[in-house]
Amino acid sequence: MTDTQKTYLKAKTIRTAAITALIGNTLLAILKIIAGLISGSSSLVADGIDSSADALISIIALVVVRIIAVPADKEHPWGHGRAETVATALVSFTLFFTGAQLIINSISAYFSGEVRAVPSFLAIVVTCISIAGKILLAWSQYLYGKRADSTIIKANAKNMAGDVVVSVGVLVGLVISTLTGSAFADTVLAMLIGAWIIKAAISIFLETNLELMDGNSGVEPYRIIVDAVNAVDGASNPHRARMRRIAGFWDIDLDIDVDPHCTVLQAHGIASQVEREIKLRLESVFDIMIHVEPYGNDEVETYGLSEDDMT
């Protein structure tokens, strides 16, 4: 499969995932906000606002999919894949401010001294529907995100999995409010939902920031490179290795040592074999740049990982 075909398939999968999430979350948001206002449940309204934020994420994903499908050009020789990473960071900021606003509104309502009625049974019914709907959406987003190796869809799947926990918490709060005849638990749950949304936002931002900073969370991909180099006759001492992610694809820089007496053609052949071996062992490779050096070169390297660092 060519890089163009991979990009097209990725974009198609993201589009399908985004449309599925947009329809599902929009329906749930409308249902929960209306039911929360009718029943007098602040936590259900807060949960509905959270679903509205999820729908916004899907809209952002639909915009992103049009950008990443644009071929590389003079201004963007690595393509437009980083648009997905930037969009995921924007999603985290949106979630953060949504959660903060929920907490502020809940605290204001609590200290205002306003006596609130206990939420009606309608809120419990709608919350049960919300739990079932969120489970289905989280499951579908997880599968789509894994298939496309998409950061924004994976972030949405993670967020929706958290939403299931949030909705269960809302259900518990509503049941407590009904049994005790007090709306206090419902108000507290609205605050906790806001805190949960902020926690999810920070988690998504930290993961996204790692990619924006060209970092990696572990050395396992580097170990794969070491094994690939050692499997090729004539190649040795993988060093100055650098790996970064561009919207789910690996961009790899690597130095290897070869016999200083081999010809340029032979050295090129060895480097090509190393490239093929890496692609066989590592999925979703965007590009590999291999620099050939004579064996025994004592040049001090400034960047990247050596074989000792990788193992």
Q: Which helix (H) or strand (E) holds 206?
A: helix 184-212
For the chain, the structural domain boundaries read 3-212, 220-310
Residues whose CB is less than 8 angstroms from the CB of residue 172 and which lie 6 or more positions away in sequence, other chains included: 189
Please check whether residue 69 is in contact with residue 8, taking contact to mean a CB–CB distance below 8 angstroms: yes
Pick left, alpha or beta for residue 284 (phi over 0 → left; psi -120 to 50 → alpha; otherwise beta).
left
Distance CA 118, CA 162 (A): 26
Count CB atoms within 10 A of the CB of residue 261. Answer: 8
What are the tens digits of pLDDT across the range 9-60? 777 888 888 899 899 989 999 998 998 888 877 778 877 887 887 788 788 8
Closest CA to 95 of 53, 143, 157: 53
> Tens of pLDDT along 121-147?
788 888 888 889 989 988 998 888 888
- pLDDT tens digits, one per residue of 182-216: 667 767 777 787 788 788 888 888 878 877 777 77
The predicted structure's pLDDT at residue 49: 81
pLDDT at 232: 92
Amino acid identity of residue 245, one-letter, is R
Separation of alpha carbons 253 and 99, rounded Å: 40
Q: Hey, which residues does 245 pair with through a beta bridge? A: 250
The distance in angstroms from the start CA to the end CA of the chain is 31
- pLDDT class for 79, splitting at 50, 70, 90? confident
Q: What CATH number should be reported for the domain whose range is 220-310?
A: 3.30.70.1350
Pair 69, 11: CB distance under 8 Å: yes
Q: Is the confidence at residue 311, as pLDDT, over 70? A: no
Report the distance separating Cα 186 and Cα 43, nearest Å.
6
167 has a pLDDT exceeding 70: yes
What type of residue is 232? V
Can you read off the two tokens belonging to residue 6?
A: 């991979």
The better pLDDT of the pair 142, 74 is held by: 142
Query: Does 3-212 match 220-310 in CATH topology?
Result: no
Domain 3-212 class in CATH = mainly alpha
Q: Give the pLDDT confidence score for residue 304 in this predicted structure.
A: 73
Task: List, in order, residues 6 or more apart from 89 with CB less than 8 Å away.
Answer: 205, 208, 209, 212
- Rounded to the nearest angstrom, the gap between the alpha carbon of residue 262 and the centroid of all alpha carbons in its chain is 45
